[in-house]
Amino acid sequence: MTVTSVLDRIDADLPNALDRLQAFLRIPSISTDPAYADACDAAADWLVAELRALGAEASKRPTPGRPMVVGHLDGDGPEVLFYGHYDVQPVDPLDLWNSPPFEPELQDTPNGRVIRGRGTADDKGQLMTFVEACRNWLEEHERLPAKITFFFEGEEESGSPSLIPFLKDNADELRKELALICDTGLFNDTTPAIITSLRGMLGQEVILRGASRDLHSGSYGGPAANPIKVLSHVLAGLHDDTGGVTLPGFYDGVQVLTDRQRADWDALGFEADSFLGEVGLSMPAGERDFSALEQIWARPTCEINGIRGGYAGDGFKTVLPAEAAAKISFRLVGTQDPIAIREAFQSYVRSMLPPDMEVEFINHGASQASVMEASHPVFEQARLALTEEWQHPATFTGAGGSIPVAGYFKSILGMDSLLAGWGKDDDGLHSPNEKYDVESFHKGTRSWARVLGKLAEG
């Protein structure tokens, strides 16, 4: 089986593929809002119908929340699972949209033709690149070069509350040699990326309480403990003068880059000044001895995401607040243990408290980093396939954010994930006027067809 004729078929069928994508995008499958539960059901039904049209054995699976979609297509070669999500973010604020979010449009822009609408890039357009690749492969060759299991989730944008129980209950059905995930992006507009590491995430909220009520600073300032003052001291002590995190044991499990990784990343030509300049900054911060790219992809962080306490309204109020709070997030790498880091953080905070100061901790999730075994032959096959399609060397990269499903596939199903996607930095994920380049959709479909072709070669 050759891929050339499949690619020709994809080119010829692009208008029909865009029509199918637009039909999918018209379904307002917002998972976070119960008012859209029926729409989520409709999106799942739409996908089941599409998979059955390919000849797959497909069904909608109930969960306590939004349904999952599972489908199986027989073929030759390895067994792989393809994951995507059909739910989308809310569209607020609606008045910032230039066109109705669930009436997708093809638009010409200075940077090329795009399809505009909620879910175009996250994740319906990306999901459909793989479905369309399979469709065209089957129409050309009647049989796929791999045994494919499709797994589509309906709660990714609302924290995936049903995902872990579903994976555990259906582990034997879903466990394959490898998972393919299309919910990421290109490194830049012309360079495809295969993500081999994802940072983990630990969220922690801390609330300090002092006096039984807010106090007048003229009457109590000095002798009364001030929770904001104590909290500021606690937060300032989380980092040293080099930008390193001071918690004991924090760097346990942090791995250094291999020479191959460092060479690959250096070859990308990432410019920190340009990266920061786009958001009005000029000087890199963070750990002093590590580049900005290494900090984002391969180093752990501790960031203060929000602080509240006292009076911050218009005018002035001379008050000593009874309470102050902060939210802190930790991005984790390698084999760092989020539970151990949470315990270290809470012990540190308690050690910094003066008498008459109470503390409450609120936990906001904890997940380890995901590191893929890129030595699996499919990773190199995919790198070659993407290089051929985009005419720029595909690279193995890290990711600064978290895609929890990849970690769950590893911890629950025992399989690695190959993450490749075709989104661009200006797609506006989660924002008004979200878009997906037609080029991304087209070349993304061709890219997956080429990956299937490499699987056919063995």
Place 376 in a pLDDT band, splitting at 50, 70 and 90: confident
For the cut 80, the answer to whether the pLDDT of residue 133 exceeds it is: yes
How buried is 453 (Cβ within 10 angstroms: 0-12 exposed, 13-18 middle, 19+ buried)?
buried
pLDDT of residue 401: 82
pLDDT of residue 374: 82
Catalogue the long-range contacts made by 347-356 (C-beta closer than 8 Å, 24 or more residues apart). Answer: 348/234, 348/237, 348/238, 348/246, 348/247, 348/248, 349/206, 349/234, 352/230, 352/233, 352/234, 352/237, 353/208, 353/230, 354/225, 354/230, 355/225, 356/210, 356/211, 356/225
- CATH architecture classification, 200-254+300-367: 2-Layer Sandwich (3.30)
The residue assigned the tokens 């589509």 is 152
DSSP 31-96: SS-GGGHHHHHHHHHHHHHHHHHTT-EEEEE--SSSPEEEEEE-BSS-EEEEEEE--B----SGGG
CA within 13 Å, CB half, 135: 20
Mean pLDDT of the chain: 95
pLDDT of residue 261: 85
CA neighbor of 335 nearest in space, from 243, 419, 264, 410: 410
Please tell me the distance from the alpha carbon of residue 53 to that of residue 122, in angstroms, as a whole number. Answer: 24
Judge whether 113 and 18 are in contact, CB under 8 Å: no
Per-residue pLDDT tens over the stretch 159-201: 899 999 999 999 999 999 999 999 999 999 999 999 999 999 9
Per-residue pLDDT tens over the stretch 325-346: 999 999 999 999 999 999 999 9
Strand (E) or helix (H) holding 275 = helix 272-277
Coil, helix or strand for 172? Answer: helix
- The two tokens of residue 378 are 């499919």
Place 456 in a pLDDT band, splitting at 50, 70 and 90: confident
Bridge partners of 105, per DSSP, are 116
User: DSSP assignment, residue 122?
Assistant: I
Strand (E) or helix (H) holding 302 = strand 301-309
For the cut 90, the answer to whether the pLDDT of residue 35 exceeds it is: yes
Dihedral pair phi/psi, residue 161, rounded to 5°: -65, -25
CA neighbor of 380 nearest in space, from 388, 390, 368, 391: 388
For the residues 209-226, what does the mean pLDDT come to? 95
How buried is 222 (Cβ within 10 angstroms: 0-12 exposed, 13-18 middle, 19+ buried)?
exposed
The distance of Cα 212 from the centroid of its chain, to the nearest Å, equals: 42
For the residues 426-441, what does the mean pLDDT come to? 97
CA within 13 Å, CB half, 417: 30
- CATH architecture classification, 4-198+369-457: 3-Layer(aba) Sandwich (3.40)
pLDDT of residue 1: 67
For the residues 356-365, what does the mean pLDDT come to? 95
Per-residue pLDDT tens over the stretch 236-282: 999 999 999 999 999 999 998 888 888 889 889 999 999 999 899 99
Per-residue pLDDT tens over the stretch 88-128: 999 999 999 999 999 999 999 999 999 999 999 999 999 99
Strand (E) or helix (H) holding 319 = strand 319-320
Q: Where are the domains of the chain?
A: 4-198+369-457, 200-254+300-367
SS3 content of the chain, % helix, strand, coil (to 5): 40, 25, 40
Place 458 in a pLDDT band, splitting at 50, 70 and 90: low
Q: What is the pTM of this model?
A: 0.86
Please tell me the distance from the alpha carbon of residue 198 to that of residue 366, in angstroms, as a whole number. Answer: 14
pLDDT of residue 12: 98
Judge whether 15 and 441 are in contact, CB under 8 Å: no
Percent of the chain having pLDDT more than 70? Answer: 100
The residue assigned the tokens 């990956």 is 451
Place 457 in a pLDDT band, splitting at 50, 70 and 90: confident
Dihedral pair phi/psi, residue 21, rounded to 5°: -60, -40
pLDDT of residue 373: 83
